[in-house]
Amino acid sequence: MIVYEKLKMGLKVKIIRTLLFVLALIGIFCCTFYFLFEWQVIGKFQKDVDWLFWACVKILQVWGDWTGLGYNLLNILVFIILQPVLILIFFVLWR
Instruction: Give the global pTM.
Output: 0.51
Q: Are 69 and 77 in contact (CB under 8 A)?
A: yes
Q: What is the dihedral of CA 57, 60, 64, 65, to 10 degrees?
A: 70
Reported as a single tens digit per residue, the pLDDT across 2-36 is 555 655 666 677 777 887 787 888 888 766 766 66
Name the average pLDDT for the chain.
81
pLDDT at 56: 92
Residue 83: pLDDT over 90: yes
- Res. 76 pLDDT band, cuts 50 70 90: very high
pLDDT at 70: 92
What does the alpha-carbon distance between residue 76 and residue 14 come to, in Å, rounded to a whole number?
54
Consecutive H or E run containing 9: helix 2-37
